[in-house]
């Protein structure tokens, strides 16, 4: 029997978990690697996304190595502008009306003239891409938990300094098994005091305890991933009561071995517990799927109805740092998407067999 569904690429939504280098198109990486003479391993040449099994140390090391190789192909301001413009184009194609792209500018500083020039180049690229594509777009500066907490404080101060130039949040990424969250509490205090949203990673490679650490030590308003909170009903209630949004990335979770299959990702558990979610693509370059595909996973593997998918989109908008007028426009667009007749004239519909 054939079912007709509303087109998920036409569903307005916000994208709150997308890493900078990881947003690159595979074709762009191939071109830049050729330009700079960088040898790419097979896993970065497109095709089937690699199974990285980052739940063990060797798997995470391999993931980081692939990411570092890809990042080494971003050497000039023109490369940065291209990456940001193309990331915006891809998001618009997937129905995103607001994107918060996450970046650690220290990673790009050596080739772009230093930390401040690197961040300014990135912010200028974001501003240009936003104007060119019509996508609301801002930056979340992320510290690396594998580095010294003093570096995170430096980044937090820099992020606050550029809050009026497009920085809206402060994050903490990389292997959550390394570097205690509390070691970065001062950096997050600086960011929060400067008006930035706190959005550290947690609850991906380790269990519910890392989500609790994000709440207790860093006073997180959002948690990058957060899926492992599903293992602790008390923590789920806490997230729901506080309205802390979890930036859930289903395709990434499977590619990194956090869960074996798409249907194992606890989307239903979080949703039915009332935990706000913002589905994200994380690193499409490595995981092979972008934003709309995450909603497809919720539909195909978890039975989310169009009304529930619309609610997921609303949660992404509410969890964002978008200004009120952008929120109103996106929320109205979600209502329109849901109200439109399925398969009616002008309605882009997708078909699946069941």
Q: Which residues are catalytic?
A: 204
Please spell the DSSP secondary structure of 256-270, one letter per residue.
TTSSSSGGGS-HHHH
**Whether 143 contacts 115, CB under 8 Å:** no
**Distance from C-alpha of 225 to C-alpha of 57, rounded to nearest angstrom:** 19
The secondary element (H helix, E strand) that includes residue 171 is: strand 167-173
Which residue bears the tokens 């109205």? Answer: 332
203 DSSP assignment: S
Edge-to-edge, what's the strand order for the sheet holding 13-19?
13-19, 96-103, 136-144, 167-173, 197-202, 222-225, 245-247
225 φ/ψ angles, rounded to the nearest 5 degrees? 80, -95
CA triple 25-31-34, angle to 5 deg: 140
219, two tokens: 């006073």
Q: Is 19 helix (H, G, I), strand (E, B) or coil?
A: strand
* Strand 13-19 with 96-103, pairing: parallel
Rounded to 5 degrees, what are φ and ψ at 224?
A: -70, 115
β-bridge partners, 3: 352
């Amino acid at each position: 029997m054939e079912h007709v569904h509303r087109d998920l690429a036409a569903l307005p939504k916000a994208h709150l978990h997308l890493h900078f280098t990881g947003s690159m198109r595979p074709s762009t990486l191939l071109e830049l690697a050729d330009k700079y003479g960088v040898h790419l391993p097979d896993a970065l040449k497109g095709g089937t996304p690699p199974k990285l099994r980052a739940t063990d140390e060797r798997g995470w090391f391999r993931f980081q190595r692939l990411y570092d190789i890809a990042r080494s192909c971003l050497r000039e301001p023109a490369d940065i502008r291209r990456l940001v413009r193309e990331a915006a184009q891809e998001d618009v194609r997937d129905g995103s009306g607001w994107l918060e792209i996450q970046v650690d500018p220290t990673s790009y500083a050596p080739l772009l003239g230093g930390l401040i020039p690197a961040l300014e180049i990135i912010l200028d690229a974001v501003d240009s891409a936003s104007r060119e594509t019509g996508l609301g777009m801002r930056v979340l500066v992320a510290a690396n938990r594998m580095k010294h907490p003093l570096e995170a404080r430096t980044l937090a101060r820099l992020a606050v300094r550029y809050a009026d130039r497009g920085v809206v949040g402060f994050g903490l990424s990389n292997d959550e098994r390394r570097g205690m969250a509390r070691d970065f509490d001062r950096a997050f205090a600086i960011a929060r005091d400067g008006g930035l949203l706190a959005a550290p990673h947690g609850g991906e490679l380790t269990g519910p305890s890392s989500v609790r650490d994000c709440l207790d030590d860093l006073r997180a308003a959002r948690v990058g991933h957060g899926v492992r909170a599903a293992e602790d009903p008390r923590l789920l209630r806490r997230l729901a009561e506080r309205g802390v949004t979890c930036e859930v990335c289903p395709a990434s979770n499977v590619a990194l071995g956090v869960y074996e299959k798409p249907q194992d990702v606890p989307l239903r558990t979080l949703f039915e517990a009332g935990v706000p979610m913002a589905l994200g693509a994380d690193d499409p370059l490595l995981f092979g799927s972008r934003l709309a595909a995450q909603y497809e996973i919720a539909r195909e593997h978890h039975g989310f109805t169009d009304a529930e998918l619309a609610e997921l989109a609303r949660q992404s908008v509410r969890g964002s740092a978008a200004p009120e007028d952008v929120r109103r426009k996106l929320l109205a667009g979600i209502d329109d998407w849901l109200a439109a007749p399925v398969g009616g004239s002008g309605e882009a519909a997708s078909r699946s067999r069941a």
